[in-house]
């Protein structure tokens, strides 16, 4: 994900409010518009920008009467880290797949050194996931 675009999204209060609403449950445009008291056209533009970035996903759901509704939801967990220090600024965006590792890294940067056992467990978890992914690739190749 593009860090500049994420920071741009997070710099807009309306977009932060939309994301906050979607942490509870998926919603459709008119729900978001009504809750935030912002016009539907503006909400649609905000949603489009965040969906293009990959922060949101959408799906259609049938309703009892009328056209299916397009619901928006948060597509993935991301974590943004910004380190500011003398002579350096470092920014990272980590998706959900590495959030545990990122948390441990943050603890290490804060001076905590008692994370060895947790790192070893995480390495085993990632190795197991890697083996599983390789098996899936072999399964796909066998079907071709």
Per residue in 16-28, pLDDT (tens digit) is 999 999 999 999 9
- Domain-located, residue 104: yes
- Domain-located, residue 80: no
Confidence (pLDDT) at 35: 96
Is the pLDDT higher at 29 or at 64? 29
Per residue in 53-78, pLDDT (tens digit) is 888 988 888 888 888 889 999 887 77
Kindly state whether residues 17 and 70 are assigned to the same domain.
Answer: yes
Q: Has residue 98 got a pLDDT over 80?
A: no
Confidence (pLDDT) at 102: 65
Kindly state whether residues 7 and 68 are assigned to the same domain.
Answer: yes
Is the pLDDT higher at 97 or at 112? 112
Kindly state whether residues 114 and 65 are assigned to the same domain.
Answer: no
Q: Which two tokens stand for residue 82?
A: 């910004």
Kindly state whether residues 70 and 100 are assigned to the same domain.
Answer: no
Which residue segment(s) compose the domain that 138 sits in? 96-143
- 17-36 in b/e form (b: 16+ CB < 10 A) is ebbebbeeebbbbebbbeeb
The pTM of the whole model exceeds 0.85 = no
- Domain-located, residue 39: yes
Q: Has residue 39 got a pLDDT over 60?
A: yes
Q: Would you call 46 exposed, middle or buried from its count of C-beta atoms within 10 A (0-12, 13-18, 19+)?
A: buried
- Domain-located, residue 81: no
Mean of pLDDT values over 87-98: 72
């Amino acid at each position: 994900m593009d860090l500049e675009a994420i920071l741009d999204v997070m710099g807009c209060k309306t977009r932060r409010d939309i994301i906050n609403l979607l942490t509870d449950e998926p919603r459709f445009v008119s729900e978001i518009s009504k809750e935030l008291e912002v016009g539907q056209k503006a909400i649609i533009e905000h949603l489009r920008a965040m969906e293009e970035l990959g922060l949101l996903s959408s799906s259609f759901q049938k309703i009892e009467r009328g056209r299916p509704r397009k619901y928006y939801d948060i597509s993935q967990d991301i974590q943004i880290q910004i380190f500011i220090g003398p002579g350096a600024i470092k920014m990272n965006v980590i998706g959900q797949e590495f959030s545990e590792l990122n948390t441990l890294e943050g603890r290490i940067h804060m001076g905590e050194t008692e994370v060895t056992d947790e790192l070893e467990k995480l390495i085993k978890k990632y190795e197991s996931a890697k083996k599983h992914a390789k098996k899936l690739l072999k399964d796909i190749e066998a079907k071709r």
